[in-house]
Structure 1
Amino acid sequence: MIPQDSIVALATPSGAGAIAVIRISGKDAITIGNSVFKSIKNKELTTQKTHTLHLGHIMDDSKTLDEVLVSIFKGPNSYTGENTIEISCHGSTYIQQQIIQLLLRKGCRMADPGEFTLRAFLNGKLDLSQAEAVADLISSDNEASHQIAMQQMRGGFSNEIAKLREELLNFASLIELELDFAEEDVEFADRTQFHELLNRIEFVLKRLIDSFAVGNVIKNGIPVAIVGEPNVGKSTLLNALLNEERAIVSEIAGTTRDTIEDELVIGGIGFRFIDTAGIRETEDVVESIGIRKTFEKIEQAQVVVFLFDSSEFKVSGLKLKVELEKIKNQFPLKPLVIIGNKADKLEEKEIVNLKAEIPKILLISAKEKQGVEELKNQLLSFVNTGALRNNETIVTNTRHYDSLLKALDEIQKVKFGLETNLSSDLMALDIKEALYQFGMITGQVTNDELLGNIFTNFCIGK
């Protein structure tokens, strides 16, 4: 049941600012707004056109609370599909609270987290995947995650799913029709066309599922662990990447005893760099805990940057190769970037020998910030951004990913049934389950528990 009461919330971040926006939505939103608003031109909000702005004052009886601008959006032509007004007031926290309390006394109630977007979904203004994209858009902190959220909010993902669901639904109807005429032994669904459709759906589902690997790291940031022995310049490299003194740098080995994390956007993609404690044999209890955490961070990272002091390669080259093999064997699937730091101390002959010993090595000087841009480019190469450039649909939501996997499983069952001449009634069950999973993504199939889980993660006021 779609709620009819009027809700109110602060739509801008809490705290003092130049301007704050208070949003009201519901059947009586404009009437309630009109009861506390006095226009400078004596206008009645209830008689004004939609999508108009009005200057005036918020009045608590004879007391003036603030001079404001009121925006009117009449349903169904509003974000929620209901009558909506937005009060742009001055950003004092006192003024915000006074206006909200006044509106509560006039008949509004405080909105739950995400309730404005929930109402937009219930009123058919957004499907469920578009509603979830609103939260992703709010939390996007780099170009790539913003682009994905915008593409999904515009309906790119849901349109693709809806088209597949509609085509499958048409064939499901023909299969059901065959069951009604089972005694006549007739086929209404062309099996050749049905097989082609299943192949096409399987192809699209696999593409969307594969895109999740890229989409998930773009949305959450790509964790990069910087590892190596103590005092090889890991903290200096982190500072060079971030272009600030984020980590403590010292000539004393073992200075970094815990992991330090910070984020950097490279080419529109978010990277989360983790400066770890140096890896070495130690009897220091605190340092050994840091080293154990280093291996935990490597486990969590998507990319590992192994740093060593290139000027010490003659002395410690054998030990270095042992450490590299240990990491490669323990984490064989993780991209490994091998970096020789302090390359500014090397002679040309030493550089040639080092590149011969370790062919894919990247030589830099973190202290002098030489080679840092090459490292950034190499990190960026690990991310498949082709889909972004081609504006393809990328899945970033774990719930969508789970439904796509289940839908693919059901489609493959239907395909197997078709190839083995399985009876139509059994195929119909698998088709229904595939349609159910498609519906779960867009919200054509839903329940209160699912909606509660999704919208309670929204911020209040959205």
Structure 2
Amino acid sequence: MIPQDSIVALATPSGAGAIAVIRISGEDAITIGDSVFRSIKNKDLTTQKTHTLHLGHIMDDSKTLDEVLVSIFKGPNSYTGENTIEISCHGSTYIQQQIIQLLLRKGCRMADPGEFTLRAFLNGKLDLSQAEAVADLISSDNEASHQIAMQQMRGGFSNEIAKLREELLNFASLIELELDFAEEDVEFADRTQFHELLNRIEFVLKRLIDSFAVGNVIKNGIPVAIVGEPNVGKSTLLNALLNEERAIVSEIAGTTRDTIEDELVIGGIGFRFIDTAGIRETEDVVESIGIRKTFEKIEQAQVVVFLFDSSEFKVSGLKLKVELEKIKNQFPLKPLVIIGNKADKLEENEIGNLKSEIPEILLISAKEKLGVEDLKNQLLSFVNTGALRNNETIVTNTRHYDSLLKALDEIQKVKFGLETSLSSDLMALDIKEALYQFGMITGQVTNDELLGNIFANFCIGK
């Protein structure tokens, strides 16, 4: 049941600021707003047109709380689909609380997390995947994650799923019709067309499922582990990448005894850099713990950057190759960037020798910030951003990914049934389950527990 009461919440971040926006939504929202608002031109808010602005004062009986602008949005032409007003007041936390408390006394209740967007979903203003994209848009912190959230909020993903569901539903109806005329042994669903549809649905589902690998790292940031022996410049490299003194730099080996993490946006993609403790044999208990954590971080990373002191290659070249092979063998599927640091100390013949020994090497000077941009470009090349440039649908939501996997499994069962002449009643069961999984994504199939879990993660006021 769609709630009818009026809810209120602060729609802007909490704390003091120049302006704060307080949102009210519900059947009586405009009436409640009018009861505390005194227009400078004596306007009655309940008689004003939708999508209009009005200047006046918020009054608590005869006491003036603030001079405000009130925006009116009449349902169904509002974000929630209900009557909605937004009060733009001055950003004092005292003023915010005084206005909210006044509205609570006038009949509003405090909104639950995400309740405005929940009401928009319940009133058919957007489907469930679009509602979830609202939360992703709010939390987006780089160009790529913002672009994906915008594309999904505009309905790109849900439109694709809805189209597949509609086509499958049409065939499901024909299959069900055949069951009604089972004794006549007739076929209303063209099996050839049905097989083509199943192939098309399978292709789209596989593409969407595959996109999750890219979408997940874009949404959450790509973890990059910076590893190597102590004192080769890992912390200096981290500082050069971030352009700030984030990690402690010292000539003393083993200074970094724990992992240090920070984020950087490169080409619109978020990267999480992890400066790890140096890898070496040690009897220091604390440092040993740090080295163990290093290997744990490599396990969690999407990309590994192996850093060594290129000026020491003559002395430690053999040992270096052993360490590289160990990492390659232990993590064969992870992209590995091999970096020779302190290249500003090398002669031309030493540079040539290094490149012949390790063809894939990238030579830099973290201290002088030489070659750092080349490293950024190489990291960016590991990310498949073609889908972003082509504006293709990318899946970033784990719940959607799970439903897509289940839907694909059911579609493949239907295909197998069609190819083996399975009875229509058994195929109908698999089709219904596939339709159910499609409906779970867009919200055509929901339950209170699912909605509670989704909207509990929203901020209050949205």
Both proteins in one fold, TM over 0.5: yes
Deviation, 1:201, is 0.2
- The CA distance in 2 between the partners of 1:288 and 1:10, in whole Å, is 49
Deviations 1:147-194 (A, max 9, x none): 000000000000000000000000000000000000000000000000
- The CA distance in 2 between the partners of 1:260 and 1:28, in whole Å, is 52
Deviations 1:229-252 (A, max 9, x none): 000000000011011111110100
> Secondary structure of 1:193's partner?
helix
> Secondary structure of 1:255's partner?
coil
- The CA distance in 1 between the partners of 2:347 and 2:195, in whole Å, is 65
- The CA distance in 2 between the partners of 1:296 and 1:15, in whole Å, is 39
Deviations 1:439-459 (A, max 9, x none): 000000000000000000000
Instruction: Compare 165-174 and 344-353 and name the one that shifted more.
Output: 344-353
Deviation, 1:313, is 0.5
- The CA distance in 2 between the partners of 1:13 and 1:293, in whole Å, is 37
- The CA distance in 1 between the partners of 2:203 and 2:185, in whole Å, is 32
- The CA distance in 2 between the partners of 1:286 and 1:39, in whole Å, is 68
- The CA distance in 2 between the partners of 1:140 and 1:181, in whole Å, is 53
> Quick check: 1:138 aligned with 2:138?
yes
- The CA distance in 2 between the partners of 1:322 and 1:44, in whole Å, is 80
Deviation, 1:207, is 0.2
Deviations 1:82-102 (A, max 9, x none): 000000000000000000000
Deviation, 1:370, is 0.6
The answer for the alignment partner of 1:17 in structure 2 is: 17
> Secondary structure of 2:4's partner?
coil
> Secondary structure of 2:426's partner?
helix
Deviation, 1:285, is 1.1
TM-score by length of 1: 1.00
- The CA distance in 1 between the partners of 2:69 and 2:257, in whole Å, is 54
Deviations 1:229-283 (A, max 9, x none): 0000000000110111111101000011111111000000000000000001111
- The CA distance in 2 between the partners of 1:191 and 1:359, in whole Å, is 56
**Matched residues, number:** 462
Instruction: Compare 282-291 and 102-111 and name the one that shifted more.
Output: 282-291
- The CA distance in 1 between the partners of 2:414 and 2:244, in whole Å, is 57
Deviations 1:351-400 (A, max 9, x none): 11111111101010001111000000000000000000000000000000
- The CA distance in 2 between the partners of 1:224 and 1:138, in whole Å, is 25
Deviation, 1:409, is 0.3
Deviations 1:186-207 (A, max 9, x none): 0000000000000000000000
- The CA distance in 2 between the partners of 1:49 and 1:296, in whole Å, is 61
Q: Which runs of 5+ in 1 are unaligned?
A: none
> Secondary structure of 2:65's partner?
strand
- The CA distance in 2 between the partners of 1:169 and 1:222, in whole Å, is 39
User: What is the Cα-based RMSD across aligned positions, in Å?
Assistant: 0.4
Deviation, 1:73, is 0.2
- The CA distance in 2 between the partners of 1:349 and 1:424, in whole Å, is 75
- The CA distance in 1 between the partners of 2:448 and 2:325, in whole Å, is 52
- The CA distance in 2 between the partners of 1:339 and 1:244, in whole Å, is 20
Deviation, 1:211, is 0.2
> Secondary structure of 1:65's partner?
strand
> Secondary structure of 2:89's partner?
strand
- The CA distance in 1 between the partners of 2:284 and 2:167, in whole Å, is 65
Deviation, 1:315, is 0.4
TM-score by length of 2: 1.00
The answer for the alignment partner of 2:184 in structure 1 is: 184
- The CA distance in 2 between the partners of 1:102 and 1:281, in whole Å, is 66
> Secondary structure of 1:9's partner?
strand
- The CA distance in 2 between the partners of 1:413 and 1:356, in whole Å, is 53
- The CA distance in 2 between the partners of 1:356 and 1:419, in whole Å, is 56
- The CA distance in 2 between the partners of 1:461 and 1:296, in whole Å, is 39
Deviations 1:83-136 (A, max 9, x none): 000000000000000000000000000000000000000000010000000000
- The CA distance in 2 between the partners of 1:208 and 1:111, in whole Å, is 35
- The CA distance in 2 between the partners of 1:213 and 1:303, in whole Å, is 14
Instruction: Compare 110-119 and 287-296 and name the one that shifted more.
Output: 287-296
Deviation, 1:286, is 1.0
